[in-house]
């Protein structure tokens, strides 16, 4: 009888440990998702308020496909530093998939609005694109490692195709 009780206690401890681990992991996933969502919203709020891109890039820089359909662009860790005469953007339906808790995640969302870069002859009055971004945690902060922007049917992407003029 003592053996059965001891075995039962060991099993209960293991079950409690497993449940605790799931609870911690669930909290980590939820916390990561909230942090990345806030980072995306912060970047768009900064863009609209300052008419300039927000630098949330990795110390290694990032790779991006732009909505213009151009080739792959390397963005240095200082960001693309684009200034706008006019910009009014908003995000919709932000979804975050945590790949490695506290280390890596992918965000997917829609971005829409209008823009006109400074000194440009073109503006985009119906910007509507899908965004996928890979985030990594560096020095306690979520940063962008990759971005892929693709226009939604009926919307426009940008016309710029390269970081080089």
Which tens digits make up the pLDDT trace of 52-71? 999 999 999 999 999 888 89
Phi, psi of 42 (to 5 degrees): -60, -45
Contact yes or no for 132/148 (Cβ under 8 A): yes
Model confidence pTM above 0.85: no
What is the distance between the alpha carbons of residues 46 and 81, in angstroms, rounded to a whole number?
A: 13
> How high is the mean pLDDT of the chain?
86
Strand order in the sheet with 84-100: 73-75, 62-65, 141-151, 124-138, 104-117, 84-100
* Cα–Cα distance measured from residue 130 to residue 91, given in angstroms and rounded to the nearest whole number: 10
pLDDT in tens, 112-124: 999 999 988 888 8
């Amino acid at each position: 009888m003592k053996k059965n009780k001891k075995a039962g206690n060991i099993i209960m401890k293991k079950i409690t440990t497993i449940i605790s681990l799931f609870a911690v992991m669930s909290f980590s996933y939820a916390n990561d998702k909230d942090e990345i969502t806030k980072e995306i919203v912060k970047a768009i709020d900064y863009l609209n308020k300052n008419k300039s891109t927000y630098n949330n890039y990795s110390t290694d820089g990032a790779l991006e496909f732009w909505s213009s359909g151009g080739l792959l662009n390397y963005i240095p860790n200082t960001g693309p530093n684009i200034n706008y005469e006019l910009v009014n953007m908003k995000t919709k339906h932000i979804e975050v998939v945590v790949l490695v808790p506290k280390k890596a995640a992918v965000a997917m969302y829609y971005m829409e609005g209008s823009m006109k870069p400074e000194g440009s002859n073109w503006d985009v009055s119906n910007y509507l694109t899908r965004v996928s971004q890979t985030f990594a945690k560096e020095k306690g902060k979520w940063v962008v490692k990759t971005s892929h922007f693709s226009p939604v049917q009926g919307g426009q992407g940008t016309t710029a195709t390269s970081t080089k003029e």
